[in-house]
Amino acid sequence: MRVAMIGTGYVGLVSGACFADFGHHVTCVDKDAQKIERLERGEIPIFEPGLDDIVARNRAAGRLDFAVDLTQAVREADAVFIAVGTPSRRGDGHADLSYVYAAAREIAEAAEGYTVVVTKSTVPVGTGDEVERVIRETRPDADISVVSNPEFLREGAAIEDFKRPDRIVVGTDEPRAREVMTQLYRPLALNSLPLLFTGRRTSELIKYAGNAFLAVKITFINEIADLCEQVGANVQEVARGIGLDNRIGAKFLHAGPGYGGSCFPKDTLALTRTAQEAGTPLRIVETVVGVNDVRKLAMAKKVMNVLGGDVRGKTAAVLGLTFKPNTDDMRESPALSIIHALMDKGMKIRAYDPEGMEEAKKLLPAGVTYTSGAYEAAEGADCLVIVTEWDAFRALDFERLRKIMAQTVLVDLRNIYRPDEMQALGFTYESVGRGSDAAEGLAAPAVH
Ligand SMILES: NC(=O)c1ccc[n+]([C@@H]2O[C@H](COP(=O)([O-])OP(=O)(O)OC[C@H]3O[C@@H](n4cnc5c(N)ncnc54)[C@H](O)[C@@H]3O)[C@@H](O)[C@H]2O)c1
């Protein structure tokens, strides 16, 4: 089949390359001419493990093309995917759909013959109706079905997620569109294709409900972590203790500095706006949004407290800037809020990230010093702060760190290390939600 992918970002490039790998012919289109030029030269504009191989392989096989203008690709396509950004709209937190509607208009102008237009971008419930209206208004004669097919891939594991998804959700009531979508995904699993067909609005809502649920789960364990610190319990053991219950499940129960990234913050916010306008506010999700915002600043306070409160002139070495490992995506990363808050209090920042520094430089204040590695960042620092759990930070040489740091203080916001080990190494150690079970000075619970 022939596919046009409109928007060649984290989702569009991965989806396009994977569809090509299934044997389809794919053209990835992007308005950003520089991005397309780099791709034409064989460069991959984002960091995503394995993506370079799959792009090169399918380019060589003649199944993957790139273009700035969508006309030819759309004209020839059986399915056109919209995978453009849907960021938060300034001011009100709604999803900004201007890129989606602009793409829809251009697609309508170029389409020929029966074409399935598939919204892969995360869009609020009802957007498919509006995309259809825009298309019909632009080209009343066009033979087009508008389908919702939200994407669930995770950055850092995107190819694996796309090729081995838990489920593929397709929102359409039209048999012709259903057939095209089935053909597109069929190579993925000949026997047990996990396709879930729903109505279009339901499909759109599944994406938001899924992300909101995961954000609730993370925020829940983060609040439990705060409680653990106060009552002398260990959040990792609590998470294991509840996660072994199949009804709860072990995933998304890692306490940390709060969720970030290109999806959860904007999607939770947009969902609360949709719900408010529908007259059915989602109080739990609203609370989660607020709790998560405050949490990032609480992490900065943790750093200040461990250094005795007055941090002016002191230096923090920040390890990890991206919102999670194995990506270069800095959007809404907790590191941004934490570094801003520390600099506001007069701290100097030395920072290192294996892949995210180019993006970080665009978003962080000019005064940050970027280094070539973890030890270079730690040189002369009063405190080491692990914000992102890259593998490179999992086995640090603490003897070496002791020699080069001004003070032996580690704030581990991902609970990579063990408090007893760090104590034995002579480090002042602060992590998340790991009060000692034998904490002294705590009142025993009352017996009733
Ligand atoms: N990043 C993720 O992990 C992820 C996961 C699931 C869903 N999503 C959703 O997928 C969508 C895309 O996310 P992303 O992270 O890939 O965004 P992105 O910002 O990385 O990429 C979007 C691309 O679309 C291009 N674009 C915008 N308007 C265009 C137009 N009219 N024609 C051609 N190109 C155009 C931009 O230049 C950009 O390169 C969003 O709705 C997001 O919420 C993202």
pLDDT computed for residue 110 by the predictor: 98
pLDDT computed for residue 90 by the predictor: 87
Task: Report, as residue numbers or ranges, the catalytic residues.
Answer: 263
Question: Residue 10 CA: which ligand 1 atom is closest?
Answer: 16
Q: Whose CA is nearest to atom 21 of ligand 1?
A: 9
Q: Whose CA is nearest to atom 19 of ligand 1?
A: 85
Q: Who contacts 310 (Cβ-Cβ below 8 Å, separation ≥6)? A: none
Question: Residue 329 CA: which ligand 1 atom is closest?
Answer: 1
Q: How far is CA 178 from the centre of its chain?
A: 29
Q: How far is CA 358 from the centre of its chain?
A: 18
Q: Which of 295, 273, 297, 277 is nearest to 286 (CA)?
A: 273
Task: Return the H-helix or E-strand segment holding 429.
Answer: strand 428-430
Pairing of strands 369-370, 348-352: parallel
Q: Whose CA is nearest to atom 17 of ligand 1?
A: 85
Question: Residue 103 CA: which ligand 1 atom is closest?
Answer: 31
Question: Residue 11 CA: which ligand 1 atom is closest?
Answer: 16
The preferred substitution site among 80, 84, 329 for testing ligand 1, maximizing ligand atoms within 8 Å of CB, is: 84
Q: Which of 414, 393, 269 is nearest to 334 (CA)?
A: 414
What are the Cα distances from residue 40, in Å, to 56, 231, 308, 325, 385?
Answer: 10, 57, 53, 27, 39
pLDDT computed for residue 188 by the predictor: 87
Annotated binding site: 30, 35, 86, 122, 152-155, 207, 252-256, 260, 266, 324, 331
Residue ranges around ligand 1 (CB below 6 Å):
6-12, 29-32, 35, 83-86, 99, 102-103, 121-122, 151, 153, 155, 262-263
Instruction: Set out the domains of the chain in order of their start, with CATH numbers.
Output: 2-198 (3.40.50.720), 210-430 (3.40.50.720)
pLDDT computed for residue 91 by the predictor: 86
Cα 240 from Cα 253, distance rounded (Å): 8
E-assigned strand segments in 101-151: 115-119, 144-148
pLDDT computed for residue 191 by the predictor: 65
Neighbours of 169 (CB within 10 A): 21
The preferred substitution site among 151, 207, 322 for testing ligand 1, maximizing ligand atoms within 8 Å of CB, is: 151
* Residue indicated by tokens 């300034």: 90
Say how many Å lie between the CA of residue 121 and the centre of ligand 1: 7
What are the Cα distances from residue 6, in Å, to 16, 35, 55, 182?
Answer: 9, 13, 16, 20
Q: How far is CA 337 from the centre of its chain?
A: 16
- With H, G, I as helix, E, B as strand and everything else as coil, classify residue 88: strand
Q: Whose CA is nearest to atom 41 of ligand 1?
A: 121
Say how many Å lie between the CA of residue 9 and the centre of ligand 1: 5
Task: Please state whether the predicted TM-score (pTM) of the whole model is above 0.85.
Answer: yes
pLDDT tens, per residue, the chain with 448 residues: 999 999 999 999 999 999 999 999 999 999 999 999 999 999 999 999 999 999 999 999 999 999 999 999 999 999 999 999 999 998 899 999 999 999 999 999 999 999 999 999 999 999 999 999 999 999 999 999 999 999 999 999 999 999 999 999 999 999 999 999 999 999 987 667 899 999 999 999 999 999 999 999 999 999 999 999 999 999 999 999 999 999 999 999 999 999 999 999 999 999 999 999 999 999 999 999 999 999 999 999 999 999 999 999 999 999 999 999 999 999 999 999 999 999 999 999 999 999 999 999 999 999 999 999 999 999 999 999 999 999 999 999 999 999 999 999 999 999 999 999 999 999 999 999 998 654 444 555 555 5
Say how many Å lie between the CA of residue 305 and the centre of ligand 1: 39
Question: Residue 13 CA: which ligand 1 atom is closest?
Answer: 16
Say how many Å lie between the CA of residue 373 and the centre of ligand 1: 31
Q: Who contacts 245 (Cβ-Cβ below 8 Å, separation ≥6)? A: none
DSSP class of residue 407?
S
Q: Whose CA is nearest to atom 35 of ligand 1?
A: 7
Say how many Å lie between the CA of residue 12 and the centre of ligand 1: 7
Task: Return the H-helix or E-strand segment holding 300.
Answer: helix 283-306
Q: How far is CA 61 from the centre of its chain?
A: 31
On whether the CB atoms of residues 357 and 318 are closer than 8 A, the answer is: no
